[in-house]
């Protein structure tokens, strides 16, 4: 029994002072059910993706989804967490419930509110997604971890500052067309490439424009089994999916290869019976520009060490052979941790049904790929989506 996305909702990402974790959850849960044409009593199971790690005073947040409708009371509800891949962990858990025959309709919500937390605490909270015995004292927090990865990549494969700036510029340009994005400004290559007062170095060779944004936001989707989904007004099916977990300590692996991500891509594409060349677009986890660069290699777009070729040849632009992050990615859209993976699935479903915002919509996409990772390529989730109605 396979699953399909039949409805969704998405808040704008950014600084949401008037919202709380609870209000964000209730808003998207309510809107997703309406969008799917499903009533709350038809939901069999609920999965909430919420990382938290200190961002919210209210923990144990799974049951907050029930605040959206009294008819959700007594439904089995679980909060899942897998660092920055928390949203995809929630989506995949929902799909598995349907595949197991345990549910026909699953409501999946992803949420995070980060901006009310003081800056130093934000860094400390995010660093909890690394291996603290090795990385707990890293200057610059999680940016420092990826700064070390970028420096090591430069040492092995040469200075890639041009490529990183091109990735940042691409994603910021794409984000202009995404009404949900936190930063809707085309910064341009020159600004992203040069160090300046507004674009200082943050960690190693990474500048501010190389780092995703601290953000608040939520996204939700409704999953249904295929028989139910085909009775809905539209449905986007999971053609392939994979989850690969790797060692937490970077010292136990070659961090420049993202081997867990590469294996997840291989498994998901094989399950889907397609190759990377068959995909119309990819939404990938650009928490930092160096991550997107290495992900080009992990997904098989280029060989190891040659990721810069993909951006320099324009392959990953919206009009390229494999558009990557037409949404603006985490770089422009923002990265509310628990919401990110759900957002990727929502925006990909929008693309495949022709419902993406004007300017962001690609021309007749058939298959979409999603890569969402937690930590430094520790939790690796890939989904391959196609419209089935």
Mean pLDDT of 382-387: 98
* pLDDT given at position 330: 98
Measured distance CA(95)–CA(190) in Å, rounded? 43
Residue 65 pLDDT > 90, yes or no?
yes
Percent of the chain at pLDDT exceeding 90: 97
* pLDDT given at position 196: 97
Look at phi and psi of residue 15 and say left if phi exceeds 0, alpha if psi is from -120 to 50, else beta: beta
Residue 1 pLDDT > 80, yes or no?
no
Residue 259 pLDDT > 90, yes or no?
yes
* pLDDT given at position 119: 87
Query: What does pTM read for this prediction?
Result: 0.98
Residue 219 pLDDT > 90, yes or no?
yes
Q: Look over the chain and give the mean of its residue pLDDT values, rounded to a whole number.
A: 97
Confidence class of residue 47 from pLDDT cuts 50, 70 and 90? very high
Measured distance CA(80)–CA(47) in Å, rounded? 7
Residue 141 pLDDT > 90, yes or no?
no
Which CATH number applies to 3-117+214-229? 3.40.47.10
Kindly give the pairing relationship between strand 367-374 and strand 236-245: unpaired
Helices then strands (H, E): number in the chain? 13, 11
Higher pLDDT among residues 120 and 251, named by residue? 251
Residue 20 pLDDT > 80, yes or no?
yes
Three-class DSSP category at 368 = strand
Q: What is the pLDDT of residues 299-345, one digit of tens each?
A: 999 999 999 999 999 999 999 999 999 999 999 999 999 999 999 99
Find the range with the poorest average confidence among 55-59, 265-269, 272-276, 294-298: 55-59
Closest CA to 366 of 382, 351, 346, 383: 351
Confidence class of residue 247 from pLDDT cuts 50, 70 and 90? very high
Three-class DSSP category at 184 = coil
- 3-state secondary structure labels for all residues of 143-162: HHHHHHHHHHHHHHHCCCHH
- Go through 17-55 and write b for each residue having 16 or more CB atoms within 10 A of its CB, e for each that does not: eebbbbbbbbbbbbbbbebbebebebbbbbbbbbbbbeb
Confidence class of residue 140 from pLDDT cuts 50, 70 and 90? confident
* pLDDT given at position 31: 98
Closest CA to 341 of 209, 238, 220: 220
* pLDDT given at position 81: 97
Residue 180 pLDDT > 90, yes or no?
yes
Residue 258 pLDDT > 80, yes or no?
yes
CA distances from 344 to 88, 139, 146, 263, 350 (A): 8, 30, 22, 20, 10
Measured distance CA(170)–CA(331) in Å, rounded? 10
Domain limits, the chain: 3-117+214-229
* pLDDT given at position 139: 86
**Is 384:238 a contact under the CB 8 Å cutoff?**
yes
Q: What is the pLDDT of residues 77-126, one digit of tens each?
A: 999 999 999 999 999 999 999 999 999 999 999 999 999 999 889 989 99
């Amino acid at each position: 029994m396979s699953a399909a996305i039949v409805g969704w909702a998405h808040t704008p990402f950014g600084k949401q002072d008037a919202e709380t974790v609870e209000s964000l959850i209730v808003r998207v849960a309510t809107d997703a059910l309406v969008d799917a044409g499903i009533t709350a009593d038809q939901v069999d199971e609920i999965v909430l993706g919420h990382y938290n790690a200190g961002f919210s005073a209210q923990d144990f947040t799974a049951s907050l989804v029930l605040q959206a409708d009294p008819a959700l009371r007594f439904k089995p509800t679980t909060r899942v967490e897998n660092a920055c891949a928390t949203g995809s962990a929630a989506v995949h858990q929902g799909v598995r419930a349907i595949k197991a025959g345990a549910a026909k309709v699953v409501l999946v919500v992803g949420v995070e509110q980060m901006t009310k937390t003081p800056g130093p605490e934000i860094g400390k909270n995010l660093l909890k997604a690394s291996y603290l015995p090795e990385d707990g004292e890293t200057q610059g927090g999680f940016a420092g971890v990826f700064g070390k990865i970028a420096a090591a990549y430069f040492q092995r494969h040469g200075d890639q500052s041009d490529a990183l700036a091109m990735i940042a510029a691409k994603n910021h340009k794409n984000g202009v067309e995404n009404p949900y994005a936190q930063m809707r400004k085309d910064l341009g290559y020159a600004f992203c490439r040069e160090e300046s007062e507004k674009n200082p170095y943050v960690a190693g060779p990474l500048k501010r424009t190389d780092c995703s944004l601290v953000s608040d936001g939520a996204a939700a989707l409704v999953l249904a089994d295929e028989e139910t989904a085909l009775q809905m007004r539209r449905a986007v099916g999971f053609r392939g999916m994979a989850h690969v977990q790797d060692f937490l300590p970077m010292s136990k692996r070659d961090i420049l290869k993202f081997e867990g991500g590469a294996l997840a891509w291989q498994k998901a594409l094989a399950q889907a019976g397609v190759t990377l060349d068959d995909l119309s677009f990819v939404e990938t986890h650009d928490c930092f520009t160096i991550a997107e660069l290495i992900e080009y290699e992990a997904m098989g777009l280029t060989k190891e060490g040659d990721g810069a070729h993909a951006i320099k040849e324009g392959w990953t632009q919206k009009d390229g052979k494999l558009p990557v992050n037409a949404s603006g990615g985490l770089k422009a859209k923002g990265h509310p941790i628990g919401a990110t993976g759900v957002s990727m699935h929502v925006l990909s479903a929008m693309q495949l049904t022709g419902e993406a915002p004007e300017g962001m919509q690609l021309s007749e996409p058939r298959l979409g790929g999603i890569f969402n990772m937690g930590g430094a390529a520790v939790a690796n989730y890939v989904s391959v989506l196609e419209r089935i109605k």
